[in-house]
A and B are shown apart, each in its own frame.
Chain A
Amino acid sequence: MAKEWEEMTPTEKRADLDGKWLSPPQAEYSSAEAEKAYKERVQRMLDAINMKKPDRVPVVPMAGFFGAYISGLTPYDVMYDYEKLMSSFSKYVLEYQPDAHLSVTVSPPGKMHDTLDYKLYSWPGHGVAKEHSYQCIEGEYMKANEYDALIADPTYFFLTGWLPRVMGALDGLKMLSPFTNMTEMYGGFTGAAFVPFGLPPVQEALKKMMAAGDEALKWIGAVGGFGAAMTAAGFPGFFGGGTKAPFDTIGDTLRGTRGIIADMYRQPKKLLRAMEQFVPIAVKMGVDSAKLNGCPIVFIPLHKGADGFMSDEQFRKFYWPTLKDVMEGLIAEGCVPFPWAEGGYNSRLRVIKESPKGKVIWGFDTTNMADAKKILGDVCCITGNMPIATLSVGTPEDVKITVKKLIDTCAPEGGYMMMSGAVIEDVPPDNVKMMIDATKELGVYK
């Protein structure tokens, strides 16, 4: 009998997830060729991740709503109509043939967010034009004096402090008492803890949550259906799960840029303590979905630690320690952390060199890739840097020249995957096609 997950070593956990990615237990391939292609693609990516030479450089464009745009649809169309979501995103994968797809989760369920009166983002038809992608609206959704409450019980703070502020329909949740009060019947503990559930504002919020859940279920049906269809056609998914660096969770989601920056000076100890509190939470978030999806790669988009966003000293003090802890926690659970450094990470390369060897993929946007290869070449697989500006306004010939340069710089000896430096939205289709085809042509290892 197979070992229980809890009894496995990190290496065994990783082998388990790699195995499920390579041979998904539920897969039904459309043909023997599709099955062969699927396995070749996963093996190609695993070889690159393991810093070996694959048969050729894998190519995985960071496609956002690109599938919608090439199908004559808007982000609004696909966020509100899951059939359109399926058909348009499939069109991209089947016609352009990248080595992996990025699921359809990039397109969240629009109606669910309408129901919740969500405030952390504007989205197509709801604060953003239907033709454009969703965009974050930062704010101080947690006040400067709420660190003690957050640290004491993050879940209770999210439930009663944060959720009512970012989801207007959940205002009633602020009346909940801690679930940890439900220790026993004696003393009226359970009785008292359930009182809030009898109050009309709480019941209203719960009804909205159930309606949101109904919509989320429809959406996840599309997500699962898309994944199965792509596997059937021979295309693996790239992301097992996703999580965030604790500094970004607090900066993006709770305090906002201005807020977290003020905290770095005014209450650094509380900020550091709160970030530590988020480490196991962030690890669990990534591991749970990686296990569910049977793929080890956990995407970690990095925001506020980029060049210029803080000094190297501040990066070492505030950003890196808990990000490293999250990465190590993921690795201990058999996952492959995929930190994705948006913006430039040139001055950080010497710090992130401390990443666990051979167990991470570092993705880059505008970082100098020659330096990245030099410094991280013997540490981990690197990816990214196909400039989104060139993809957006360049010619296919410009794209091909850049692909060649990237392969010449990063691919020798393996350990490189071709990816765009930023998300591909409404970009000239010929340029995306060239990025993929040129990698297939020029990225072959002899």
Chain B
Amino acid sequence: MAKDLTKALADLKEDEALAIVKEKLDAGADPMGILNDASKGMETVGTRFSKGEYFIPDLVYSGEILKSINELVKPKLTAGSDKKTGGKVIIATVAGDIHDIGKDIVVFMLDVSGFEVYDMGVDVPAQKIVDKIKETNSPVVGLSGFLTLAYDSMKQTIDAVAKAGLREKTKIMIGGGQITPEIVKYTGADTFGKDAVEAVAIARKFMSAK
């Protein structure tokens, strides 16, 4: 029975999507093929989000479904078969701010969009981010912050990146509930995104402009 996993995931039909995955695995299907189908489903979710047809609950719930799919598929995967090819991105909530909901959605969307994401967590000091850029050679950094105290932390982080001589080769995007063009200018970031799907589009643009 050839049911469509991509469509089931895109339409947020959890039970149906998981039934298809189980059926496929039982029939000996290639686990990478299943993940590819799921990934296409997530692409549709992202497209519907940017068109205003889907909202944050739909993104988060698609993530919940994908998590369950991964749990089913993972035991059948061979090591290294899920290599990311989209490029490296560092994501962190800046020093002083411990909010993670928005950041986690951005990390998730970048991850399912094929980026190799270094999620540094919350309350991350500027120097640690600088060190991570050096360590990973990530060309793109995303800084998250929910509180107004993040304005200064973002500015300090971007200043530290510049001081380390890394600003030229690092593109920096910022995001969070109180981020506006005024704050992009204040912090010295390259741009800001209003949601996780915009973060993916910006990261893609940064990567292709390299």
Which A residues are closer than 8 A to B by beta carbons? 122, 127-129, 131-133, 135, 137-138, 257-258, 261-262, 264-266, 308-311, 314, 342-343, 387-390, 392-394, 422-423, 425-427
Distance (whole angstroms) from the CB of B182 to the closest CB of chain A: 5
What are 8 A-B contacts with C-beta separation under 8 Å? A135-B147, A137-B98, A257-B101, A262-B60, A264-B61, A308-B55, A425-B147, A425-B148
Chain B residues in 8 Å Cβ range of A265: 12, 14, 57, 61
Among residues of A, the one whose C-beta sits closest to the C-beta of B97 is A135
Contact of A257 among B60, B151, B178, B180 (CB under 8 A): B60
Is the beta-carbon distance between A309 and B55 smaller than 8 angstroms?
yes
Query: A343 with B101: in contact, given A311-B55, A393-B186 (CB under 8 Å)?
Result: no
With both chains docked as a complex, state the minimum distance between the C-beta of B84 and any C-beta of chain A, in angstroms.
Answer: 23
| Known interface pairs A129-B96, A132-B149, A389-B148; 16 further A-B residue pairs with C-beta atoms within 8 A, sorted by A's residue number | A128-B96, A133-B147, A133-B149, A135-B98, A261-B57, A261-B64, A265-B14, A309-B57, A310-B56, A342-B177, A388-B148, A389-B151, A389-B178, A389-B183, A392-B148, A426-B149
How far apart are the CA atoms of A315 and B177 in the complex, in Å?
Answer: 19
Interface set of B (CB-CB < 8 Å, partner A):
12, 14, 54-58, 60-61, 64, 96-99, 101, 147-149, 151, 177-180, 182-183, 186, 195
Asked if residues A262 and B101 are in contact (CB atoms below 8 Å), the reply is: no
Instruction: State in angstroms the CA–CA spacing of A257 and B105 once bound together.
Output: 11
- Checking A127, A426, A427 against B98 with a beta-carbon cut-off of 8 angstroms, the contacting residue is A127
**A-B contacts at CB below 8 angstroms, number:** 83
- CB-CB under 8 A from B60, the residues of chain A are 257-258, 261-262
Q: Chain B contacts of A132 at CB under 8 A?
A: 96, 147, 149
The 3 closest A-B pairs by CB, nearest first: A393-B186, A261-B57, A389-B180
CA gap between A311 and B12 in the complex, in Å: 15
A387 to chain B, nearest CB (A): 7
Chain A residues with CB below 8 A from B180, complex form: 387, 389
B195 touches A388 (CB 8 A): no
Do the beta carbons of A262 and B61 come within 8 Å of each other?
A: yes
Q: Least Cβ distance of A79 to chain B in Å?
A: 16
Which B residues are in CB contact (< 8 Å) with A258? 60, 64, 101
Question: What chain A residues lie within 8 Å of B97 (beta carbons)?
Answer: 135
**Which residues in B have their C-beta under 8 angstroms from that of A422?**
148, 178
Residues of chain A contacted by B101 (CB below 8 angstroms): 138, 257-258
Are the CB atoms of A393 and B183 closer together than 8 Å? yes
B102 to chain A, nearest CB (A): 10
A390: B residues at CB distance < 8 A? 182
Complex CA distance for A310 and B60, rounded to whole angstroms = 11
Residues of A contacting B182 in the complex (Cβ-Cβ under 8 angstroms)? 387, 389-390, 393-394
Query: Shortest CB–CB separation between residue A43 and chain B, in angstroms?
Result: 33
| Bound Cα distance from A112 to B134, whole angstroms | 44
Determine the distance from Cα of A138 to Cα of B54 in the docked complex, in whole angstroms: 24
| A20–B139 CA distance with the chains assembled, in angstroms | 61
Residue in chain A with minimal CB distance to B177: A343
- The reply to whether B61 and A261 form a contact with Cβ atoms under 8 Å apart is yes
- Which residue of chain A is the closest to B179 with respect to CB atoms? A389
Q: Quick one: closest B residue to A425, CB to CB?
A: B148
Residues on B with beta carbons closer than 8 Å to the beta carbon of A343: 177
Taking A389-B182, A393-B182 as contacts, is the C-beta distance between A310 and B57 under 8 angstroms? yes
**Bound form: Cα–Cα A128–B93 in Å:** 14
Of the candidates A266, A308, A310, A314, which one forms a contact with B195 in the assembled complex, judged by CB atoms under 8 Å apart? A308
Residue of A nearest to B155 (CB): A393
Query: Which residues from B are CB-within-8-Å of A129?
Result: 96
The answer to whether B99 and A388 have CB atoms under 8 Å apart is no
Instruction: Output the least CB separation between A123 and chain B (Å).
Output: 11
Indicate the member of A135, A310, A314, A394 with the most B CB atoms within 10 Å. A135
Give B146's nearest chain A residue, CB to CB. Answer: A135
Contact B98 A388 (CB under 8 A): no
Contact of B56 among A133, A262, A309, A394 (CB under 8 A): A309
CB distance from B99 to the nearest CB of A (A): 7
- Whole-angstrom distance from the CB of A72 to the nearest CB of chain B? 17
Q: How far is the CA of A390 from the CA of B56 in the complex (A)?
A: 27
Which of B54, B182, B186 lies at the interface centre, i.e. has the most chain A CB atoms within 10 A of its CB? B182
Report the minimal beta-carbon distance from A157 to chain B, rounded to whole angstroms.
Answer: 24
Closest to A307 in B: B55
A257 neighbours in B (Cβ, 8 Å): 60, 101
Point out the residues of chain A lying under 8 angstroms from B55, CB to CB: 308-311, 314
A378 and B16 CA atoms in complex are apart in Å by: 48
Contact between B98 and A392, CB atoms less than 8 A apart: no
Residue of B56, B57, B98, B99 most packed against chain A (CB within 10 A):
B57
Give CA–CA (A422, B149) in the complex, Å: 12
> In the docked arrangement, what's the CA distance between A388 and B55, Å?
25
Chain A residues in 8 Å Cβ range of B98: 122, 127-128, 135, 137
